Amino acid sequence: MKILLALLALLTPVAAHAADGVSLVSEVFVEHTETTPEGRSVTTRAEPEMVVPGDNLVFVLSYRNDGAEPATDLVLTNPVPDSVAFSGTTDQSAVVSVDGGKTWGALNALTVVGTDGANRPAEAADVTHIRWVLDQPVPSGSAGELSFRGVVK
Amino acid sequence: MGQLALIAVAAAIPVSTAHAAGTPAGTDITNTATATYAGPDGSELSVDSNAVTMRVGELLDVSVSSADTGDVGALPGATNQVLKFTLTNGGNGPEAFALTVDANAGGDDFNPAVTSVILDTNGNGAYDAGVDTVYSAGANDPLLQPDTALTVFILSSIPAGATNAQRGQVDLLAAATTGIGAPGTSFAGKGEGGGDAVVGATGADSNDDGIYRVNAASVALTKAASVTDPFGGSGPVPGGVITYTLTATVSGSGTVNNVAVADPIPAGTTYRPGSLTLEGTTLTDSADADAGRFTGSAVQVGLGSVGAGTSRTITFQVEID
């Protein structure tokens, strides 16, 4: 059924752009958690062609600087797709937007206008975009990976 | 396709999204990210990632629930007794559901005889004979859009031998016609929009029971007589007055409607005008707005609807000729 591999790093993303600067690869995995007969919780990840509402998705962004010079001021932005509810990121350096990318901040610092017309604290599902602002230049030949989670609405 | 598994502790923030049916089946979800950075000459460069596209498959979910507020009262031998259910498509695609009834499961006192299953085609939530559609399995399995509901009626006959307070249940089962199974079971290419169909948390089938309860109220009438003779005794002599007390008692459960009591005046006696009472209140002898009258040969009292566990007392007097 499912092939067990040890490490995420065994996946080699295919670069989407020519090797003359920064390239960016997006991957999406669907997670299914099952409990083994021994009572262990096993989570499997697969690249889905099809998902159903309620599926847990993991979005992985891989960047690589193939240019000869360091890339500075690297900012990676991922709009949360329609039909996906953002459910968080373990990456503390991320900022999010709940207004279509106009303003940015930590989720707990943002508010949205509720159905009653009053401002309320933003929730994960309000997030429209997630962004990483790298404060260090990315040296030539260097790469990194960022991720966030969502649920199919 | 890359595929891997890991023993993981997934620490995601809980999501409070309330999606009932969810994204419609056949929708494509596409993800693209963008990177901006400063190039060697200081100019801003921008690069897009590849686009990842996933199609939303059809989730098969259904719920059936009894829409009656409690047991449905019925009389022994009654026909076309109506049970009401709500059928809801909890999936994200249009789906037809096959309906099955079972009136013979255990756990009850009698088996109702199901005569038909009716779809509330005019959507008013009430059974309309001759208007709503009779269900025929496989021929008109109801097709429901995502997140919509249909009322389904079951019509049954109650066995003549059923007795008071006995209960008979009928189970209505709805199953997605695309397929049922353990949650997660997949039907390749069977989903709306050409994707797969996947069984949701309900197993793509659902059932619930409706219950008939026999409300066999019965009326018992007792009659008592006391005599007062002209001499202060209780002998049945000419000139003596007999006071009759009629007591109608309803037992069982429910209500008996249109209870009417009639009692002929015994031969050899004469009705005493104005002596008719109901619950201690005098009733006029003429046929008018009050509940009683004297016909010339009998007293008649209409008691209307009398609930189980209650009684009504009627008195009248006759004089021995």
What are the tens digits of pLDDT across the range B76-126? 899 999 999 999 999 999 999 999 999 998 889 999 999 999 999 999 999
Cα–Cα distance between B69 and B59 in angstroms, integer?
30
> What is the per-residue pLDDT for B236?
81
Of B109-113, B231-235, B298-302, the poorest mean pLDDT is in B231-235
Q: Which of B214, B240, B266 is the last residue of a domain?
A: B214
Q: Domain count of chain B?
A: 2
Does some domain include residue B185? yes
Domain assignment of residue B164, yes or no: yes
Residues of A in contact with B3 (CB under 8 A): 2-3, 5, 44-47
User: Does residue B1 lie within any of the structural domains?
Assistant: no
Find which of A50, A126, A130 to mutate to test the B interface (most B CBs within 10 Å of its CB). A50
Q: What ipTM was reported for this prediction?
A: 0.83
Q: Which of residues 160-199 of B touch A (CB under 8 A)?
A: 184, 195-196, 198
- pLDDT tens column, B197-217: 999 999 999 999 999 999 877
- In this structure, the answer to whether residues B205 and B237 fall within a common structural domain is no
Question: What dotted CATH number matches A22-152?
Answer: 2.60.40
Mark whether B232 and B210 lie in a shared domain. no
Does residue A2 register a pLDDT over 90?
A: no
Q: Does residue B11 form part of some domain?
A: no
pLDDT band at B30 (very low <50, low <70, confident <90, very high): very high
Using CB atoms, which residue from B12, B33, B54 is nearest to A87?
Answer: B12
The b-or-e profile of A73-108 (16+ CB within 10 A means b, else e) is bbebbbbbbebbbbbbbeeeebbbbbeeeeebeebe
Give the end of a domain, one of B214, B247, B275.
B214
Q: What is the per-residue pLDDT across B63-82, written as a single tens digit (0 to 9) for each?
A: 999 999 888 988 889 999 99
Kindly state whether residues B65 and B195 are assigned to the same domain: yes
Considering CB atoms only, which of B8, B12, B38 is closest to A73?
B38
Compare A133 and A37 and report the one with higher pLDDT: A133
Considering only A55-64, B6-15, B58-67, B94-103, which range has the smallest mean pLDDT?
A: B6-15
- Domain annotation covers residue B6: no
B202 shares a domain with B110: yes
* pLDDT interval class at B20 (50, 70, 90): low
Minimum-distance CB partner of A10 among B4, B38, B196:
B4
Three-state DSSP at B239 gives coil
| Mean pLDDT, range A83-109, rounded to an integer | 91
Q: B214, B233, B256: which is the final residue of a domain?
A: B214
Q: Is residue B25 part of a domain?
A: no
Q: Is the pLDDT of residue B139 over 60?
A: yes
Q: Looking at residues A76-83, what average pLDDT do you find?
A: 95
CATH of the domain at B290: 2.60.40.1170
The answer to whether residue B147 sits within a structural domain is yes
At B89, which CATH number? Answer: 2.60.40.10
Residue contact B35–A25, C-beta within 8 A: no
Residues B13-20: what's their mean pLDDT?
39
Same domain, residue pair B99 and B186: yes
Interface subset of B 3-32, CB within 8 angstroms of A: 3-8, 10-17, 19, 21-23, 27, 29-32
Q: Looking at the structure, do residues B205 and B75 belong to the same domain, yes or no?
A: yes
Strands A94-97, A129-133: pairing is: antiparallel
Instruction: Give B277-291 pLDDT, tens digit per residue.
Output: 999 999 999 988 899
What is the pLDDT at residue B9?
Answer: 35
Q: Tell me the pLDDT of chain B averaged across its residues.
A: 88
Same-domain status, B181 and B70: yes
Question: Is B34 an interface residue toward A (CB < 8 Å)?
Answer: yes
* B207 shares a domain with B64: yes
Q: Is residue B157 part of a domain?
A: yes
Q: Based on the domain organization, do B272 and B234 belong to the same domain?
A: yes
SS3 B39: coil
Higher pLDDT, B13 or A121: A121
Are B121 and B197 contained in the same domain?
Answer: yes
Give dist(CA A140, CA B10) in Å, integer.
33
Give the pLDDT score at A101: 93
pLDDT of residue B4: 38
Domains of chain A: which residue ranges?
22-152
Q: Is the pLDDT of residue A7 over 60?
A: no
Interface test with B, best of A52, A96, A148, A152 (most B CBs within 10 A): A52
- Asked if residue A12 has pLDDT above 50, the reply is no
Give the predicted TM-score (pTM) of the model. 0.68
Question: What range defines the domain where residue B94 resides?
Answer: 59-214
Coil, helix or strand for A124?
helix
